[in-house]
Amino acid sequence: MNVYVCSLACILSILVPCTPRLVDDRTTVALCLMTKDQNDDIREWVEYHHKIGITNIIIFDNNSSQPCINAIQDFISSGFVNYYAFDPESVQREVYNNCLKLFGPKYSHIGFIDTDEFIVIKNSSMTIIDVVEPYKFLPGLTLNAMFIGSNGHRKRPPGGVLSNYNKCEKNAMIKVIVNTKLTIANIGPHHFRHTEGKFPVDTNFNTVSGRFNPAKDQTPMDSLYDIAYINHYILKSFEDFTRKHQRGSGDKRRREMEFFNITDLRMTGDCEFLSPPPRRVGGGIRVR
């Protein structure tokens, strides 16, 4: 069980000397998450990604008023979640780069997403390992966003995120599952610097050089949602959004309150309610 509570520099000093390394070429996919005050949603997020075959989750709890460790203690005890609580607050880029440094040697691929983002795999018989496998020798795989609106909820509804929100719109914003051997550094929440000036690809094997695919404010083609994409619950209820506004994002940005109404008006599509799939078996890993 890996649980550390100290500064980010302290965590680095503890972990860097003993970080295990890959001993074979199997595809493994970890997720790196920086979270703050997300206790109500963290368990649903961890459970869901466990079921789609994620190999391991690395959580950096960023100075939460109430750390989320108690909500996911069983996943930490099993070794599926590596949990680190630290203060003072750090910016997301610093955390992502340290995650890459610490865990890049251990996992062939790491996805960098947020607590309000869920990876959707269209084929219910596939795991995340199956999705990444055809792209495993490339610098990374980008997944387009499906923005999800509030469904008219002013107060936070019971029953979690997945069963309450489905009003949606395709969006050009992307997140990346990086090939750790071909990735040098994070340069923002949505993109990384890779070796030899190369870029990741989308699910159609087209190169993606920035944080949007296609350009900002252009609607992505339907085929980008045929294999895998990300449900981004960007609003949730008005109550949830108000808390998010007060909390701020991992990169120290704060969306204004009018963003809620402007964005929600665009959410006119009807996506399927996302439900946790049956447990899918991902790839294990041997370390030394």
User: What does the pLDDT look like over 175-225, one tens digit per residue?
Assistant: 999 999 999 999 999 999 999 999 999 999 999 999 999 999 999 999 999
- In the chain, the amino acid numbered 17 is P
The verdict on residue 286 lying in a domain is: no
Q: Which domain holds residue 173?
A: 3-270
Residue 113, CA distances (Å) to 40, 96, 110 in order: 17, 10, 10
The verdict on residue 182 lying in a domain is: yes
Report the run of H or E that residue 96 belongs to, with start and end.
Answer: helix 92-103
pLDDT at site 276: 81
Total domains present in the chain: 1
For residue 245, which of 231, 234, 260, 255 has the smallest C-alpha distance? Answer: 255
pLDDT at site 25: 83
Token pair 């007060």 in the structure block, residue? 246
Facing residues of 174 across strands? 144
The verdict on residue 255 lying in a domain is: yes
The verdict on residue 79 lying in a domain is: yes
For residue 111, which of 164, 198, 45 has the smallest C-alpha distance? Answer: 45
pLDDT, tens digit (0-9, with 9 covering 90-100), for 223-264? 999 999 999 999 999 999 998 888 765 555 678 899 999 999
Q: pLDDT grade, residue 4 (50/70/90)?
A: low
pLDDT at site 278: 79
Lowest mean pLDDT among 73-77, 82-86, 158-162, 180-184: 82-86
The verdict on residue 285 lying in a domain is: no
- In the chain, the amino acid numbered 248 is G
pLDDT at site 150: 98
What CATH code is carried by the domain that includes residue 75? 3.90.550
Q: For residues 111 and 119, what is the distance between their CA atoms, to the nearest angstrom?
A: 10
The verdict on residue 163 lying in a domain is: yes
The verdict on residue 281 lying in a domain is: no
The verdict on residue 105 lying in a domain is: yes
